[in-house]
Structure 1
Amino acid sequence: MNLPQRISLLEKLGIYMRSQDSEWLEAKKRASLENGWFIPPFIENAIEQIAEHWLQRKALEEWATGENIGLENRTPKKIGLVLAGNIPLVGFHDWLSVFISGHHSLIKTSSKDRILIEHLVGKMIQWEPSLQNEMNFADRLTGCDGYIATGSNNSSRYFEYYFSKYPHLIRKNKTSAALLTGTETKEELEKLAEDVHLYFGLGCRNVTKIYVPAQYDFIPLLEAFKKFSWL
């Protein structure tokens, strides 16, 4: 498949992810039942962000142009992906990056986030059967030309050992912090509330520590946090 064909297929995937297709609805339901942290509102939020920001044709074309992605005269590499499972579809962008650049992926999913990514990749293969040779799942990643792995600080040491002979990108545990001045607007505090509470704070971009000046008035911040009082 050439680059325009891949972009068209990704655009189709984005439309599918926002649809009410019965198979997709069932996959989302099973994902929530299999992992209690994946409550429906957070699954929907992850899907909406992916479909809106990553799978729009214009965004994909601009990304491909900016990264100078061209598939002509390129020999595909096999990239092993070790996906995390802390939030829904957390490893989607790793898979997306491999696919749009014309490489092949061998994917080891987390037991905590298996259903959604397997369903979406399976749907892509259903639409374009030739992709069955480009995207596969495995419990053990061998014979790859490079690796992208995400895990805990402990597992990252094993990744660094096992993948040391190959090009690799390894991500460890991380979280985010917020520094407040006391001059934040209501809208900014509401955004911070999302950064703190979405996905129960389990994402690497979730804010887990907030720094405030002396004599800080917490009332506006606590008011913003009430948006998630249902958790």
Structure 2
Amino acid sequence: MSTALKHITLNNRIACFVALGKFISSMSMEEMESLSRKAKYENAWFTEDSLKTALTSLADMLKEDSLINFIPFYPELNKEVQSKNIGVIMAGNIPGVGFHDAFCVLLSGHILQAKLSKSDTIIMKFLLEKIVEIAPDFKLFIQVVERMANMEAVICTGSDNSARYFESYFGKYPHIIRKNRTSVAILNGKESVSDFEKLGSDIFTYFGLGCRNVTKVYIPENYDITKLIDTFEPWSFVINQHKYANNYTYNRAIYLMNQDPFLDNNFLLLKESESLHSPISVLYYERYSDQNKLTAELTEKADKLQCVVTNTDFKNKISFGQTQNPGLNDFADGVDTMKFLLQL
């Protein structure tokens, strides 16, 4: 075990992350705007609102109570660990999306070898540097690299295509390799106006770029889909983001040329489809007549789904408006990253 790591007791590791959460919560408007400008220059999708949402979620995740409730699930954290190099290839679709993996690696006592996404270097470096500022001993356990070397386990997040590449290159190591996932909602016709408003945040937060964003809704056979049109009006501002607007214009043109039927509220296209993954600016919908049959169908597709949002009876369901507020134990793809790391 590394000598330096012995000085980072579990309590000190916890204290560092709690302090990080408090720092994020206390950031001034000027600090947030400055960070946002840098991040947006690197990735135009990272608006100030998106950054605030992401950092607020991280700060909530790192509250002392959250960590205190999280730790008992992993008694191995109290044991000495033989630190190993953990290569982490991070995604960059939403601000700071790679942080949870970094958190797990460092809290478990291993060495983080982070290959950052070119779409999210500003936010991730900001967070990792702040960890070292709070607890300087972590400097030996955080490496930001262009090319991973001497890793003893790997965590990769990407698409179905990149997953094949990752399997080829890293399959010989203990690994977690994540593929494309998305989220869906099941409506039963009894939803309130409040439910629809909250569903809007599940769909539009981060412009729909995250795997926890709802890209499809299932509706009863005789459901009036136009009900959704007006309830999403508070999110009409998304069309002011030029990249989102470009997607909207492109997809609308394609549907018109193909004479595909769709609904349009000037910032979102609703289209009937059996597919799960809708393009940016499009929400798919599909009708169902048998709740049990739909449940069985989605259970079969569990490896393609991150979240199922509904008020109906569905295992591991998520309430409306909660997809973008994951807790520490809401692991991507349902694979317990901490358990994986502690078993190495």
SS at match of 2:217: strand
1:38 to 39, 43, 46: 46
Q: Which residue number in structure 1 is paired with residue 59 of structure 2? A: 51
Residues 69 and 28 from structure 1, CA distance in 2 versus in 1: closer, same or farther, beyond 3 angstroms?
farther
Whole-angstrom CA distance in 1 between matches of 2:36 and 2:150:
32
Q: How does 1:165-176 map to 2 (within 5 A)?
A: 165-176=172-183
1:112 aligns with 2:114: no
The code of the aligned residue for 2:38 comes to R
- How many residue pairs align between the two structures? 230
Superposed CA deviations along residues 55-76 of structure 1, whole A, max 9, x for unmatched, are 0111112111112242432211
Asked if the contact 1:71–1:102 (Cα under 8 Å) also holds between the matched residues in 2, the reply is no
Whole-angstrom CA distance in 2 between matches of 1:14 and 1:28:
18
SS at match of 2:220: coil
1:123 to 105, 127, 130: 130
Q: How does 1:104-183 map to 2 (within 5 A)?
A: 104-183=111-190
Off by >4 Å, runs of 4+ in structure 1: 21-25
Whole-angstrom CA distance in 2 between matches of 1:58 and 1:153:
36
The code of the aligned residue for 2:184 comes to A
Q: How does 1:211-226 map to 2 (within 5 A)?
A: 211-226=218-233
Note the residue ranges of structure 1 that are not aligned, 5 or more in a row.
Answer: none
**In the TM superposition, what is the alpha-carbon distance from 1:24 to its structure 2 partner?**
5.7
Structure 1 range deviating more: 25-34 or 99-108: 25-34
Asked if the contact 2:33–2:48 (Cα under 8 Å) also holds between the matched residues in 1, the reply is no
Whole-angstrom CA distance in 2 between matches of 1:166 and 1:65:
28
Structure 1 range deviating more: 85-94 or 212-221: 212-221
Superposed CA deviations along residues 109-154 of structure 1, whole A, max 9, x for unmatched, are 0000110110111121122222111001001111111111001111
SS at match of 2:237: coil
**In the TM superposition, what is the alpha-carbon distance from 1:103 to its structure 2 partner?**
1.1
Note the residue ranges of structure 2 that are not aligned, 5 or more in a row.
Answer: 1-7, 239-344
TM-score normalised over the length of structure 1: 0.94
Q: Which residue number in structure 1 is paired with residue 35 of structure 2? A: 27
The code of the aligned residue for 1:49 comes to S
Q: CA RMSD in A?
A: 1.5
**Percent of counterpart pairs with the same letter?**
39
SS at match of 1:79: strand
SS at match of 1:111: coil
The code of the aligned residue for 2:65 comes to K
Residues 123 and 25 from structure 1, CA distance in 2 versus in 1: closer, same or farther, beyond 3 angstroms?
farther
Asked if the contact 1:79–1:147 (Cα under 8 Å) also holds between the matched residues in 2, the reply is yes
Superposed CA deviations along residues 1-20 of structure 1, whole A, max 9, x for unmatched, are 01111111101101111223
TM-score normalised over the length of structure 2: 0.64
Whole-angstrom CA distance in 1 between matches of 2:19 and 2:76:
20
